[in-house]
Amino acid sequence: MDARVSVIDKRLKNIKRIISVASGKGGVGKSLVASSLALNLAKKGFKVGLLDLDLYGPSSHIILGVKDVFPKEEKGIIPPNVHGINFMSIVYFTEDKPSPFRGIDISNIIIELLAITQWGLLDFLIIDMPPGMGDETLDVIRFIKKSEFLVVSTPSKVALGAVSKLLKILKELKIPIIGVLENMSMTRSSFIKNEIDSMDLPYLGCISFDNALEESIGKPNKLLESDFMKDLDDLLEGINL
Ligand SMILES: Nc1ncnc2c1ncn2[C@@H]1O[C@H](COP(=O)(O)OP(=O)(O)O)[C@@H](O)[C@H]1O
Ligand SMILES: [Mg+2]
């Protein structure tokens, strides 16, 4: 067995909760939700880490406006603190250049990131996941035994089709699902809520489409004041995180 795998449990043992923000689909707002959730919890005084595991399309660093900071080496790698969040991403190592990885590389990078990162004591580690049920998702399930999933959908049958597949697999594997968050809602339709209810899973609420959101990208202070954050905050009040 890969010796690094046995190190991972040790690295994660002082983290109270690990929340993977996932979806069957791309472009539904996983990265926005993951980064905003991390900012929101950090502002409330929790110790928070954020790990961007979307290795082909990392974007949390763009949302948080992370520039010119690097992890420190000290018996592993200590993620830099960005706006109160211990932030770890592949971009520290790829310098944000296009990174064409094959499946085996993906698992290797994930094991490496998990084995070297010194998170320290955390209340929450939020993971920004790539779409679908590929290597990254399977590796998170395999290596991060205590991860719970927060699943993002948009109010579209197309998104829901992919999201349902992810939910079904997570359920079959008995992975804890916090619930489904509906993002970019534009009408008062209860389509997604009804579908999630019928799957016997928690529907967490919805975040409206925010026309001004783009202006907050790269500016965490502005993001904290956005309508998107207000909706997320209302939604979090209903969940006991
Ligand atoms: N509620 C929202 N209102 C407006 N734009 C949004 C909303 N949620 C996400 N977006 C935008 O949609 C795009 C995709 O979001 P992103 O978080 O990158 O999705 P994913 O990580 O699922 O691929 C981004 O440009 C983001 O700014
Ligand atoms: Mg993303």
Dihedral sign of CA atoms 195, 199, 200, 202 in order: negative
CA atoms of 110 and 219, how far apart (whole Å): 28
Sheet with 15-22, edge to edge strand ranges = 81-82, 85-89, 48-52, 122-128, 15-22, 147-153, 177-185, 203-208
Query: Nearest C-alpha to atom 26 of ligand 1 is from which residue?
Result: 29
H-run or E-run covering 107: helix 103-116
**Residue of 25, 31, 32, 222 to test ligand 1 pocket, by largest number of atoms within 8 Å of CB:** 32
CA neighbor of 44 nearest in space, from 241, 213, 203, 202? 241
CA atoms of 33 and 152, how far apart (whole Å): 8
206 in ligand 1 pocket by Cβ < 6 Å? Answer: no
Residue 99 has a pLDDT of 78
183 in ligand 1 pocket by Cβ < 6 Å? Answer: yes
User: What is the average pLDDT value for the chain, to the nearest integer?
Assistant: 93
Residue 241 has a pLDDT of 82
Task: Give DSSP secondary structure letters for 146-203.
Answer: TEEEEEEE-SSHHHHHHHHHHHHHHHHTT--EEEEEEEEE-S---HHHHHHHHTT--E
Residue 82 has a pLDDT of 95
**Residue of 213, 215, 227, 232 to test ligand 1 pocket, by largest number of atoms within 8 Å of CB:** 213
CA atoms of 226 and 241, how far apart (whole Å): 21
Whether residue 132 is predicted with pLDDT greater than 90 in this model: the reply is no
- Supply angle C-alpha 156, 162, 165, rounded to 5: 135
218-239 pLDDT per residue, tens: 999 999 999 999 999 999 998 8
- CB burial of residue 112 (10 Å; 0-12, 13-18, 19+): middle
* CB within 8 Å of 228: residues ≥ 6 apart: 32, 36, 207, 210, 213, 216
Residue 39 has a pLDDT of 98
Residue 93 has a pLDDT of 85
Place of tokens 């609420």: 205
List the beta bridge partners of residue 87. 50
Residue numbers of the domain that contains 168: 3-237
CA atoms of 223 and 40, how far apart (whole Å): 10
229 in ligand 1 pocket by Cβ < 6 Å? Answer: no
Residue 28 has a pLDDT of 97
Burial 183-209 (b: 16+ CB within 10 A, else e): bbbeeeeeebbebbeeeebbbbbbbeb
Indicate the DSSP class of residue 66: -
Whether residue 31 is predicted with pLDDT greater than 80 in this model: the reply is yes
Terminal-residue alpha carbon distance, the chain: 35
Total domains present in the chain: 1
- Ligand 1 atom with minimal separation from the 209 CA: 3
CB atoms within 10 A of CB 141: 17
Domain CATH code at residue 195: 3.40.50.300
55-104 pLDDT per residue, tens: 889 999 999 999 888 899 888 999 999 999 999 999 988 877 877 778 77
Whether residue 174 is predicted with pLDDT greater than 90 in this model: the reply is yes
Among the ranges given (98-107, 109-118, 140-149, 169-178), the one the predictor scored with the smallest mean pLDDT = 98-107
